[in-house]
Amino acid sequence: MSSWRVLVLLELALPALVSTSTLFSLNAATRGAVLSFAKSSGIRALDGNAVGGSVGLGDVNDLTYLVAVTVGNSTVALNLDTGSSDLWAISNACQTDTCKLSSAERYAVTTSFQQSQIGTVGLLFGDSTTGTHASGPIGYDNVVLAGLTVPNQTFAAVNDTNNVAVSNGGAGILGLGFPSQSFVGQAAVTSVFGNTAGTDNFIRQFVNYGPIVPRLILAGVLDQPLFTITLQRDQIDISGSGQLTIGQLPDGVDNSSLTWVPVRLYSTSEGGLSAPSFAPGETYPLRWEIPLDGVYLDGEKLADTTETANGISQPSLSALIDTGNSLVRGPSDVVSSVLSKVSTTYAANSSQSPLLPCASAHRLAFQIGGKLFPVDPRDFITQNTVHNASTCVASNVVATDAPSSGALFSWSLGDPFLKSTLVAFYYGNLTHPSADPPRIGFLSLVPDDADELLAEVVAEAQADGGTFDSTTEAAPTSTSVIEASTPRTWDPAHGLPGGLATAAPANGAADVRGLSLSGRWSAFVVVLLSSSLLSLGVL
């Protein structure tokens, strides 16, 4: 059979946004880190039924946060990424320099791997100034995440990549975004239903070909359609606890203690999905993007950006919440204002690094739902040179591209923000968002004495030859399966409104608007199909 090559633009925020691709420094003489695994705990259902699970996170240099996922017979450490929606892991077939240098356990392609007829997925990740790639065959295997088993999960067994998720110690990506941003899912649905797949079948098939957590939600496994993330701090001042909790809020965290705000929904004119025939009035989320009331530095509200959006009307101010981004990224004019205020070096010459005293505490804060959520001053700075704990650099805040169709956000709040904040990601109703809209809850973890804590760790580092505390943590494995008093079975039809289980291939012209999205940090997606052309409309 002849093969077809299809070029699709798909907006994803992946770890190509990480600030450096160098391996974690264990000490002055040793580079790299062998990431072993350790045990983790599960959560208990109040009524005895299976409701979710929790697992600790690994951390490499505060650049890459890893979660242990069992795929088939392999337990792999994957980069936790709320900015993308797909699962991929390097296989033993990957022989690129990046893979050869990686010490991470790989996905072993065995008899449990069912290679699909979809072909090979090839992804190029990055914004306008960065880029990496990952490619490999799409297939299915059983996946276990935080003690929760997901049968026949669609994913990519990558055999060619230079992605920094791998060079920073991981074996791939665990995407926790919405199904609408799942390229692997789109390709799988098209392979099953042909060129007439359309939005109807794409949404109906979230339960079969969607990302891991949405499939758990639609199958009725989870108590609540959410997950929660906290990130630890392993640089400057080792502290905090990294954890992914699925299906419930973490123990000791009450719903009322969080500040909840809605997730942006995208109309078709904004680059979103077209409404399906069974829900003609619906609009759908694309990513974990929320409205911002304003941005503050040291208590002073900063002027809004004057940057013009690319090819669209100026959207309202919003931010992407992205664990796959190791930085805080924002409009170039606002970022320049921030750096000029904290660094006299940068203020005098913006081509210079934004140097500042390490003990100079600054609070960059984002107003969300009427409340300020600051970046801890310990996460605002980075050590500039080895053995110097006096002069640091504000390199965790950088400029990014202007909003565009399918990517309306001005800010991307990555790991420096997430180390300072517990964040709960609530999917709501995945097929009918108006019935239960998606939202995100925030709880600040920044202590009142954070400024004093920074001063203390700087003084300690100066007394220790200019060396800040630094460590690496392995990705714990989840060994506790949450048992139900009344066992639940995987029910693909559960949770689908109107009894929508599986759908017959549609007849007539396909309405595929929105199945392929273009925007900032575009991923060029190349799919090699063995039989038919993947018919996805590029908006």
Q: Across-strand partners of 58?
A: 66
How many CB atoms sit inside 10 A of residue 94's CB? 24
81 is catalytic: yes
Distance CA(142)–CA(150), nearest Å, equals 6
CA distance 274 to 513: 6
Q: Which residue in 390, 518, 434, 477 sits closest to 66, CA to CA?
A: 477
270: three-class secondary structure by DSSP: helix
Which of 81, 234, 376, 415 is labelled catalytic?
Answer: 81
Give residue for tokens 């063995």: 530
**Residue whose C-alpha is closest to residue 292's, from 270, 272, 315:** 315
According to DSSP, the residues that pair with 243 across neighbouring strands are 56, 230
| Strand, coil or helix: 385 | coil
3-class DSSP state of 171: coil
Question: What does R_g of the chain's alpha carbons equal in angstroms?
Answer: 22
In angstroms, rounded to a whole number, what is the distance separating the alpha carbons of residues 137 and 90? 11
Catalytic, 237? Answer no
Q: Rounded CA gap, 249 and 222, in Å? A: 12
For residue 274, give both structure tokens. 């077209």
Q: Annotated catalytic residue: which of 59, 86, 234, 322?
A: 322
Work out whether the CA dihedral 451, 454, 456, 458 comes out positive or negative: negative
Query: Catalytic residue positions?
Result: 81, 322
